[in-house]
A and B are shown apart, each in its own frame.
Chain A
Amino acid sequence: MLELVDLTHRYGTYHAIDRINLTVKQGEVVCVVGPSGCGKSTLLRSIAGLIKPTGGAVLLDGRPVESTPDNLAVVFQDYSRSLYPWLSALANVGLPLRRRGMSRKARDEAAMAALTEVGLGAAAGKFPWEMSGGMQQRVSIARALAYRPSLLLMDEPFGSVDAQTREELEDLVLRVCAHHGMTILLITHDVDESVYVGDRVVVLSKAPGHVVGDLTVDLPGPRDQIRTRELDAFVKLRADVGRMVRGMSARRFDNGMTHEVETR
């Protein structure tokens, strides 16, 4: 459903991503992992139509993305900045539904259903600043879910919450998205998370980012935080992905020059 063809973007002279080719199938959960500064956010913004890539194309259901597509939602890492503090949780979740031409009543009902789905039905009237970080990120996940996108983009969605909340949210997203048959592209720097959440893990090199590995995660579902992580297959995959990420960011200094050292 999503196809990236030679996707390239430069900010002035800075070359952020370089000829990324990637195909994501309907219903797949694909994790993109890479060292910091590998252009992950640039990649996400290009797919969402928030920036116009300088080269290549993004195809969604076969059509090139020129402005923000209708059937796409984004969950950003920084929930405190992406939720609107002057709106209650319910109003935050309901706001994007205006695009769907829904009545006020229908929007409130859909928002309430999504909040209930993420376990925040009782907190619908609260404001973001009355909530913990984990709750706020649940609200932004609910906002994306209520919109019923066919593609959900997530930019380090669990990067700013504590470890327990992170595990909870990972399972929540997997459960809810499987239930609605959503396709997910999740961007993370966390190798462990990418293997746990993904059906596939795509590894990017450091800038200019390009695809250096594309692994199928063949682990039994539904995933379980303890049992999945102790499987031999999980441990091996995590090591493989880790080596790829590490390999591309290792440096060797030679005559003051920096060279990429590939271990694969």
Chain B
Amino acid sequence: MDITAVAPSTRTVPKGLVPASLVLGGTLLSLVGLTWDIQWHSDVGPDTFFTMPHLFLYAGSALSGLASLVVVLMTTADAKRDRTVDPIVGGRAVGVFGRTFAAPVGYLISGTGAALFLVYGLWDQWWHGLYGFDAVIDSPPHIGLLLSISITMVGAVMIFAVARDQRWGTCGTIAAAAVLLVFSMVTAIGLRAVPGALANPVSVGTASLSVMILFMASHALSRRGGALAVGVAVAVLQAVFWWFSPWAAEVYADATGLPLRDYTDGIPDLPNMIPMCLVIVAVAVELLHKVPAWIPGALGGAIIAACVPLQRVLVYGGTFPVNARYLTTIVLAAAFGAGAAVLGRRFGQMLRHLAPVKEDRHA
């Protein structure tokens, strides 16, 4: 009589997936908090340290930071005991403070961003004490906070790019790059501080950052469809936030007994900062993959800058101003887009060097 032993189910979570997901989850919380907070200020207004959108922002950096810290401490413990450190978890370990800590480079960056967030939180608190609780997104401390969160998001891209030859690594790289791209559209508002009489610096910045991140993700994954996948992921985030941001602001206002502002237009602020034409640019990047990167980069930059007033007319109505400033903006966006594409391609190659992977590791 044959006795067939049934093996117990041994579904294991791939190594590195859990902390990577926690860091990505933290960056998503930050992004949700940011779109909600911007909408809150535009539709409702009153502010305290403890509004729900602020808590999302704090929780996002806390989650990413704690996950990064735990990984660094575990890696340090393994290194001290001369155990092999698998670079699939965040990349090669580097020494921090001499050899005091051994930190996988991806988690080192994401954790540094979270630590900087705390420092810039204090700087922001001091600023508000001096200047009042202004709801200005592009104040210097706010840009410092946004840059800190962006560094955590760069770390998230690095962490997933290390595992690019596994399905979760590919999906995570696309998601992390999309989150970074969407978030960068807000950070780019800081460029308002640059004189803008001849051209719109925010449009040029938005176009360049979008092109750079598309190329970076595409070359990090080194497979056809990478740029398009990021473009689609950004469009999904844009669609979800288009619904979520005004809804969440209104629901939270109702819950706290606050009315909406007079003359609120209900147009989602952060989602409207994302270029709606990004998918078209991503398709162009895919189709022109055989030509030098600067050509689709310049084209992408020009398309995004050219479509900024189109999107404004589509959303708000009004007129389409074709003037010298508009044309200069397109030319500058094309020039910066060309450079951004070359940089993005190089950054993608750098991401591939984080942990050389074996070709037979494909999941």
Partners in one complex: no
What is the interface of chain B, defined by CB distance below 8 A to chain A?
none
